[in-house]
């Protein structure tokens, strides 16, 4: 027989299952006794003709288009039928479609722009997920083509301020903006030389000299340097890089690499003149990583309409996440939906957080 000795308290943090609950609103319709006009109360925090409240709508949109949780899993967690979930996302896309024009204009005016693309299947066919981003904006475009027509739709035809950081994919080369080639891609090309010619002493010497210089260039922006000190070191690194590129070489692979850098010199040293311009495209690659993961989980989009909806909602949510400050992404998105619930005809662009970045470059003379 056990006798009670003592009682101790223990705190445990636990969560309840995520299940939507039904709320019944009694909405009164009243008529003016003088003009006979009828006034109808509206359900709070719910879009017109929508069964699902804005909190739940914001939650599932963030789950799918930001965190990459598959629709099937969201249906299991919330009890929302798949067809209803798809219809919900298509409606949201329609509400926010015009905001993309604002984001596109802000992207164009940014002093530093990034772009990249990766594979994305649509309706069983090979396609591409394009990303055009800055530190404050993300523009996604899911298309069936990898042609230059996609960048052209973003950049337009007029000359733009700032610098575009990309890899050497030819589709970006005709963009009406100055271009900075990514050193990380170039560094990997240099590393391949040693793998292709492991017995060449000249190749080993070239690689061992050139790779540290490219690495120094990419890490210079992370150093706590004053502007003057930064530009002094940037000029010194550039000088050493050019010395390696113009040094005599016998191996044809080295000559080809030197020619690549010399021919594209106008696209390789913007980071020397403006420290805001990175010599790598790491921002775009990091921003694309969740899309790569989503591709492995969801296997792409099932229709052109789904790809368009994904383009809009991923652009909106990923941009909001960059601008949300201390507020959660879900609550910020819900606030925009609440404004729509109050006035479905309202323009969301003026309510969208963030301002266009300063378009004036500060070059080093």
Domain around 316: 95-159+285-351
Question: Beta 128-133 vs 112-119: how paired, if at all?
Answer: antiparallel
The reply to whether 187 and 251 lie within a common domain is yes
Q: Which residue has the tokens 């790491």?
A: 282
In contact, 153 and 145? CB cutoff 8 Å = no
Q: What does the pLDDT look like over 114-169, one tens digit per residue?
A: 999 999 988 888 899 999 999 999 999 999 999 999 999 999 999 999 999 999 99
Question: ∠ CA 213-217-222 to the nearest 5 degrees?
Answer: 135
Helix (H) or strand (E) holding 209: helix 201-219
In a domain, 66, yes or no: no
Question: Beta 29-31 vs 38-40: how paired, if at all?
Answer: antiparallel
In a domain, 102, yes or no: yes
The reply to whether 119 and 254 lie within a common domain is no
Domain count along the chain: 2
In a domain, 62, yes or no: no
The reply to whether 217 and 253 lie within a common domain is yes
Does residue 358 surpass a pLDDT of 60? Answer: no
| CA–CA gap between residue 134 and residue 161 (Å, rounded) | 14
In a domain, 259, yes or no: yes
pTM tops 0.75, yes or no: yes
In a domain, 32, yes or no: no
| CA–CA gap between residue 157 and residue 159 (Å, rounded) | 7
Q: What is the number of alpha carbons within 13 Å of residue 237 lying toward its C-beta?
A: 25
The reply to whether 292 and 236 lie within a common domain is no
The reply to whether 254 and 226 lie within a common domain is yes
- Closest-CA residue to 307 (of 150, 144, 115, 186): 144
The reply to whether 296 and 153 lie within a common domain is yes
Q: What does the pLDDT look like over 300-352, one tens digit per residue?
A: 888 899 999 999 999 999 999 999 989 999 999 999 999 999 998 999 999 99
Beta strands in the chain (DSSP E): 29-31, 38-40, 112-119, 128-133, 138-143, 163-166, 178-181
């Amino acid at each position: 027989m056990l006798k009670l000795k003592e009682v101790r308290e223990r705190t445990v943090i636990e969560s309840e299952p995520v299940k939507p609950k039904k709320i019944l609103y009694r909405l009164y319709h009243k008529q003016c006794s003088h003009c006979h006009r009828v006034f109808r109360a509206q359900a709070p925090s719910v879009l017109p003709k929508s069964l699902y409240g804005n909190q739940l709508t914001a939650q599932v949109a963030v789950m799918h288009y930001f965190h990459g949780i598959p629709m099937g899993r969201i249906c299991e967690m919330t009890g929302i039928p798949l067809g209803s979930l798809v219809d919900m996302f298509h409606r949201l896309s329609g509400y926010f479609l015009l905001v993309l024009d604002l984001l596109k204009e802000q992207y164009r005016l940014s002093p530093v722009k990034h772009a990249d693309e990766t594979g994305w299947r649509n309706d069983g066919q090979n396609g591409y997920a394009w990303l055009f981003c800055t530190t404050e904006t993300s523009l996604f475009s899911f298309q069936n083509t990898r042609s230059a027509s996609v960048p052209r739709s973003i950049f337009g035809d007029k000359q733009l301020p700032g610098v575009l950081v990309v890899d050497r994919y030819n589709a970006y080369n005709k963009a009406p903006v100055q271009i900075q080639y990514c050193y990380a891609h170039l560094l990997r090309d240099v590393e391949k030389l040693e793998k292709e010619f492991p017995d060449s002493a000249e190749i080993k010497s070239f690689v061992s000299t050139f790779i540290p210089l490219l690495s120094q260039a990419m890490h210079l922006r992370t150093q706590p340097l004053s502007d003057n000190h930064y530009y002094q070191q940037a000029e010194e690194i550039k000088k050493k890089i050019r010395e390696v590129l113009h040094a005599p070489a016998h191996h044809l692979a080295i000559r080809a690499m030197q020619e690549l850098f010399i021919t594209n010199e106008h696209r390789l040293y913007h980071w020397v003149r403006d420290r805001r311009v990175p010599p790598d495209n790491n921002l775009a690659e990091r921003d694309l990583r969740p899309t790569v993961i989503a591709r492995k989980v969801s296997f792409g989009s099932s229709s052109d309409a789904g790809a368009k909806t994904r383009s809009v909602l991923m652009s909106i949510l990923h941009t909001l996440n960059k601008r949300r400050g201390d507020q959660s992404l879900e609550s910020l998105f819900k606030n925009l939906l609440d404004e729509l619930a109050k006035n479905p005809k309202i323009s969301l662009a003026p309510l969208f957080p963030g301002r266009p970045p300063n378009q004036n470059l500060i070059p080093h003379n």
